[in-house]
Chains A and B, each alone.
Chain A
Amino acid sequence: MAIKETMTINVGPQHPSTHGVLQLILELDGETVVKAVPHVGFLHRGVEKLAEYRSYHKALPLTDRLDYLAPMSNNLGYVLAVEKLLGITDALPQRAKVIRVMLAEITRIKSHLVWLATHALDIGAMTVFLYCFREREMIMDLYEKVSGARMTSNYFRVGGLSLDLPAGFEQDVKAFIDAMPGHIDTYEGLLTGNAIWQRRTKGIGHISAAAAIDIGLTGPALRCSGVDWDLRRDNPYSGYEEYDFKVITREGGDTFDRYTARLDEMRESCKIIQQCLDRLEAGPVLADVPWVCLPPKKDVLTSIEALIHQFKIVTEGFKPEPGEIYQGIEAPKGELGYYLISDGSANPYRMKIRPPSFVNLQALPQMIEGALLADVIATIGTLDIVLGEIDR
Chain B
Amino acid sequence: MSQAVVAKLKQEYPAAVVDVVEHRGETTVTVKKEDIVTVCTYLKNEAGYNFLCDLCGVDYLGVEPRFMVVYNLYNIATKERLRLKAAVTEQNCCIDTVTGVWSTANWHERECWDMFGIRFNHHPDLRRILMPADWVGYPLRKDYPLQGPDRQPYQGRLS
Contacts and interface: CB of A to CB of B under 8 A. Distances in A.
A312 interface: no
A352 B70 CA distance: 10
B157 interface: no
B53 A324 contact: no
Given A41-B131, A49-B139, A216 B104 contact: yes
A337 B72 contact: yes
A235 interface: yes
B13 interface: no
Interface in A209-267: 213-216, 227, 229, 234-235
Contacts of B102: 214, 216
B103 A234 contact: no
B97 interface: no
Given A337-B54, A350-B58, A362 B24 contact: no
B7 interface: no
B65 to A, nearest CB: 16
A193 interface: no
B103 A337 contact: no
Contacts of B139: 46, 49
B18 interface: no
A56 interface: no
B129 to A, nearest CB: 6
Given A49-B139, A87-B24, A44 B130 contact: yes
Contacts of A85: 24
Contact of B104 (A49, A84, A214, A227): A214
A234 B79 contact: yes
Given A53-B146, A352-B56, A84 B24 contact: yes
Interface string A77-104: 0000000110100000000000000000
Given A326-B72, A359-B107, A216 B28 contact: no
B76 to A, nearest CB: 5
A328 B72 CA distance: 11
Interface in B66-112: 70, 72, 76, 79, 81, 83, 102-104, 106-108
A53 B115 CA distance: 16
Nearest to A39: B129
A129 interface: no
Interface string A38-51: 00110010101110
B58 A325 contact: no
Contacts of A339: 54, 56, 70, 72
Interface in A324-350: 324-326, 328, 335, 337, 339, 341, 349-350
A235 to B, nearest CB: 6
A323 B139 CA distance: 23
Nearest to A233: B79
Interface in B18-47: 23-24, 26, 28
Contacts of B128: 41
A389 interface: no
Contacts of A337: 53-54, 72
Contacts of B28: 324
Nearest to B144: A49
B50 A213 contact: yes
B76 A213 contact: yes
Contacts of A53: 146
Contacts of B103: 214-216
A27 interface: no
Given A44-B131, A229-B76, A359-B104, A326 B146 contact: no
A50 B146 contact: yes
Interface string B133-154: 0000001100010100000000
21 contacts: A41-B129, A49-B139, A49-B140, A53-B146, A213-B51, A213-B76, A216-B51, A216-B104, A229-B76, A234-B79, A235-B81, A323-B24, A324-B23, A326-B81, A337-B53, A339-B56, A352-B54, A352-B56, A359-B104, A359-B108, A362-B107
Interface of B: 23-24, 26, 28, 50-54, 56, 58-59, 70, 72, 76, 79, 81, 83, 102-104, 106-108, 115, 128-132, 139-140, 144, 146
Given A213-B50, A325-B24, A350-B58, 7 more contacts: A40-B130, A49-B144, A214-B103, A229-B76, A323-B23, A325-B23, A349-B58
Those 8 A-B pairs whose CB atoms lie nearest each other, nearest first: A216-B104, A41-B130, A323-B23, A354-B54, A352-B56, A234-B79, A44-B130, A362-B107
